[in-house]
Homo-oligomer: A and B are copies of this chain.
Amino acid sequence: MTSSETSGELLVCGRPVEGFLEEIEAFHGWKAPGLVLGGFMLDWAMELIGPDVEADAIVETCHCLPDAVQIFTPCTIGNGWLKVFDWDKFALSLYDRRKLTGHRVWFDLSKARSVPNLHNWYMRLVPKKELSLEVLLESILDARRSVLSSRTIKVTRFYERKKKGVIEICSGCGEAYPAVQGLQCLTCQGEGYYDASE
């Protein structure tokens, strides 16, 4: 259950552990345990799909995992190569964007039971105060892939890139919006998130 090693040094997503953790902190703001665990998931998925495949990514939660993909692969939200499903499952997939075949890696609870710190953290069975970040990170770095599972998949839905449809100019705000939203943009229909103030 090891990740890639070169001359004995552990590499995660192609980086020595220290660099891997530093990049996480620089992008995400702190060494979030979900993101460190996610890095090991991604490391495995990247190894399975190999370096020569142009891969798109799907993550099944908004929490932490999207950042692992965005830090360590070319896939981002803004370039459309990463899709984020708000399903709160701790799983990610990399797949060949033409053949639609790929690999899903997930946090496997049945395996995690043998690493109580990780199991208890994920299932929120102990108060945060009783499990320090330092101890939790050490458990993740020790466990590596031993708490993960993977399987080969064929992507059957949601693989299309988001296309822009017909654009109209909103009669309410004068901004461009997708015609499919109706006679005015969603915000002018009262579905927006702000009040304009002075």
Which residues of chain A have a CB within 8 Å of any CB of chain B? 27-29, 32, 35, 58, 62-68, 70, 74, 76-81, 84-91, 93, 101, 104, 106-110, 122-124, 151-159, 162, 164-165, 167, 169, 174-178, 181, 185-187, 192-198
Known contacts A32-B78, A93-B194; can you find 12 more A-B pairs with CB under 8 A? A58-B193, A63-B162, A64-B79, A67-B79, A77-B77, A86-B162, A88-B177, A106-B175, A109-B175, A123-B176, A151-B196, A156-B193
Cβ contacts under 8 Å, A74 to chain B = 29
Q: Which of A64, A67, A176, A178 has the most CB of B within 10 A?
A: A176
CB distance from A73 to the nearest CB of B (A): 10
Flag if B63 contacts A70 (CB, 8 Å): no
Copies of this protein chain in the complex = 2
- What is the bound-complex CA distance between A164 and B34, given in angstroms? 13
Flag if A104 contacts B156 (CB, 8 Å): no
Out of B65, B79, B151, name the residue touching A28 (CB < 8 Å): B79
| Given the contacts A123-B176, A124-B167, A176-B109, A77 and B87 also touching, CB distance less than 8 Å | no
Among all A-B residue pairs, the 4 with the closest Cβ atoms: A67-B78, A153-B194, A66-B77, A66-B78
Cβ contacts under 8 Å, A85 to chain B = 193
- What is the bound-complex CA distance between A82 and B102, given in angstroms? 29
CB distance from A13 to the nearest CB of B (A): 15
